[in-house]
Structure 1
Amino acid sequence: MNYFILSQDERISNAVEPVGLSKIIKKELLTVERMEELEELERQFPVLDKSENDYIDFIEKPIALLADPVKQLVEKYESRLPFKPVVLVDMPKLKQTLYWLSIPPKVACLSAQTEFHLDGTLKKLVIDETLAAPYTFFQIEGIKENYIIVNIELAESMLRRAFRGIRLRKVQTEGKWNETLNS
């Protein structure tokens, strides 16, 4: 099966940028087990003041946020995935936009073919598709990078819609599916 890294399209130069989000929502809270702790946190965040903000459908940094249409699509594939609302506020323009924080499960699906640099960052990512097969929308356990991975069905469904600001990069895989293709 094919898998893709979901990322923000960096070609959109005026993409909206939340301010203060990573100071309040710490990376260590971004686990399924600690999702309840996010309930008490602030849900409204200002955006960087620009002459024009493009409210894209996927914000990657500082913390991954999904626009409402993307969240609705992901929910069709992963109905039990927890989501928390985050409102981005542009005070000068009196505009509020709903986004969703999601904490995809961390899946131990690294292949033995994965390679790392000396500092522990990824050199070459290879997913064991047998271990990843049950998941549609997930993160990878055992790496420093915060990649969100989507399977081919969800990726194709995203591409059929007119989402803006989303980029999908194919991930190398090993396993039963690749062996079938190479036979």
Structure 2
Amino acid sequence: MNYFILSQDERISNAVEPVGIAQVIKKELLTLDRIDELEELERQFPVLEKNDMLYIDFIEKPIALLSDAVKQLVEKYNPSMPFKAVVLMDMPKLMQTLYWLVIPPKVPCLSTQTEFRLDGTLKKLVLDEAKAAPYSFFQIEGIKENYIVVNIELAESILRRDLRGIRLQKIQTEGRWNDILSVEKAL
């Protein structure tokens, strides 16, 4: 099966940017076992003022936020996925926009072919298909990077819609399907 890293399209220079969210919602709270602690936190944040600001469908930094359209798609594939509402406020325009904080499960699905640099960052990412197969939307356990991964079915659903600001980067995999493709190429 094919998997893709879901990321924000950096070519969009006027994308909306929440301000102060990283100081309130700390990265260490972004785990499934601490999701209840998020209930008590402030969930309204101002945005950095820009000309012609574009409200994209996936904000990657400082924390992952999904637009309502992307959240609904992810929910179809993962009905039990926990989401928390976050409101971004454009004070000069008196506008509020709903986004969703998502905490995907961390899946131990690294292949033995994955390579790391000396500082522990990824040099070559390879997923084990068998370990990743039950999941359509997840993070990878055992790496420093905070990648959100989607399977091909969810990636195709994202691409069929008119969503803005999303990039999908294919991840190399090892497993049954690659073995079958290798045999077919050899024939």
Alignment of 1:46 onto 2:53 = no
Deviations 1:57-116 (A, max 9, x none): 000000000000000010000000000000000101101000000000000000000001
2:57 is matched with: 57
Alpha-carbon shift at residue 165 of structure 1 (Å): 0.3
1:100 is matched with: 100
How far apart are the structure 2 equivalents of 1:162 and 1:137? 20
TM score, norm. by length of structure 1: 0.99
How far apart are the structure 1 equivalents of 2:44 and 2:168? 28
Alignment of 1:158 onto 2:147 = no
How far apart are the structure 2 equivalents of 1:92 and 1:69? 25
2:157 maps to amino acid? S
Alpha-carbon shift at residue 4 of structure 1 (Å): 0.0
Alpha-carbon shift at residue 51 of structure 1 (Å): 2.0
How far apart are the structure 1 equivalents of 2:146 and 2:26? 13
Unpaired stretches in structure 2, ≥5 consecutive residues: none
1:138 is matched with: 138
- SS of equivalent to 1:118: coil
Identity of aligned residues (%): 78
Deviations 1:22-54 (A, max 9, x none): 110000000000000000000100000112210
Matched residues, number: 183
* Equivalent runs, 1:109-148 vs 2, <5 Å: 109-148=109-148
Unpaired stretches in structure 1, ≥5 consecutive residues: none
- SS of equivalent to 2:6: strand
TM score, norm. by length of structure 2: 0.97
* Equivalent runs, 1:81-92 vs 2, <5 Å: 81-92=81-92
1:21 is matched with: 21
Alpha-carbon shift at residue 152 of structure 1 (Å): 0.1
How far apart are the structure 1 equivalents of 2:148 and 2:114? 17
